[in-house]
Amino acid sequence: MIGFRRILCPVDFSEFSQHALSHAAALARRYEGRVTLLYVAPLLPSVVTFPMSVDPLTLDPASREGLWAELRELAGKLQDEVPMDVALLEGNAARQIVQRAREGEADLVVMGTHGRSGFERWVLGSVTEKVLRKAHCPVLTVPPAAGAAAPGGFRRILCPVDFSPMSNLGVKQALSLAESTKASLTLLHVVQWLPDDEVREHRHFDVAGFRAYLERDSLRQLNALVPEAARDWCAVKEAVVFGKPWGEVLRRAAEDASDLIVMGVSGRGAVDRMLFGSTTHHVVREAACPVLTVRAA
């Protein structure tokens, strides 16, 4: 079973990050793990003069002590339930979060998609997107609509599958979570399909027959991803739909009232710029439930 023993939870003291903390604590309780509560104080930009600039301003002692007090107060609300550590860093938020996750050998980063300044712009430069792209470990993003963690944990998990190696890694993580929480799991494959007007232009081709073949073959591949023994302790359903992948994932999550989406995503590199402009980007941005993105270490 894949577990989360070392969980990093960045916060900005907003109610949204407190919801993320409740999910981090719930997972720590289930896996007998520990949560590190992290706040990254941004450095103020340099005041440019000629011919040199002033060093970026750091926190004054009073501000630093105030932040430590807020962190301890937030951690204190859950300290009786799970082991908690607190950390205060300064600098670029995304860079510090990713670095702390690596140095602390975190198994999971849990963070909200909203903050004190409202919804971040989903372009290169936003904190959440950078962490999603650069973290070495899985990242659980918690949107405002998800609220605080439910007492019973995740009960209905949706796992989109495109049969890539990373997508299949997402299936393994989803199966592990389903086992630990006794959740139902739906494996969903979306076949990108031609618009109706383009389909009509190919009437000479057996469109219906080809569509049926794709559905049968996709269901066969989905079924093969689930070890037979897993079906003894986990209710697994396979589903194949046709359409735009991110739209169908969100639609199915809403229909099933999924409380978690698990997605295997590609590794870091040039492909990230395409990845976060497509399916993963849209699902993380628009999902009403937490989204767990999984990548190879």
81 — pLDDT class (breaks 50, 70, 90): confident
Shared domain check, 142 and 91 = yes
Residue at 243: amino acid letter = G
Compute the distance between CA of residue 231 and CA of residue 225 in angstroms, rounded to an integer: 11
**Residue where a domain stops, chosen among 120, 147, 174:** 147
**For the segment 181-224, what is each residue's pLDDT rounded down to a tens digit?**
889 999 999 998 766 555 555 556 677 788 899 999 999 999 99
Whether the Cβ atoms of residue 279 and residue 246 lie closer than 8 Å to each other: yes
Domain CATH code at residue 31: 3.40.50.620
pLDDT at 123 over 60: no
**Is there a single domain that holds both residue 18 and residue 126?**
yes
86: β partners:
37
Question: Which residues lie closer than 8 Å to 227 by C-beta, 6 or more apart?
Answer: 175
Q: Identify the CA nearest to 73 among candidates 39, 106, 97.
A: 39
- The arithmetic mean of pLDDT across residues 89-113, rounded, is 93
The yes-or-no verdict on residue 53 having pLDDT over 50 is no
Same domain for 114 and 64 = yes
**135 and 75 in a common domain:** yes
Q: 134 with 155, same domain?
A: no
pLDDT computed for residue 129 by the predictor: 81
Looking at the fold, whether 245 and 134 belong to one and the same domain comes out as no
Pair (70, 143) in one structural domain: yes
Residues 114 and 90 in one domain: yes
Residue 51 falls inside a structural domain: no
* pLDDT for the residue 44: 58
> Same domain for 105 and 173?
no
Q: Which of 93, 126, 147 is the last residue of a domain?
A: 147
Give me the chain's average pLDDT, please. 83
pLDDT tens, 16-36?
Answer: 888 899 999 999 999 999 999
Q: Which position has the higher pLDDT, 274 or 161?
A: 161
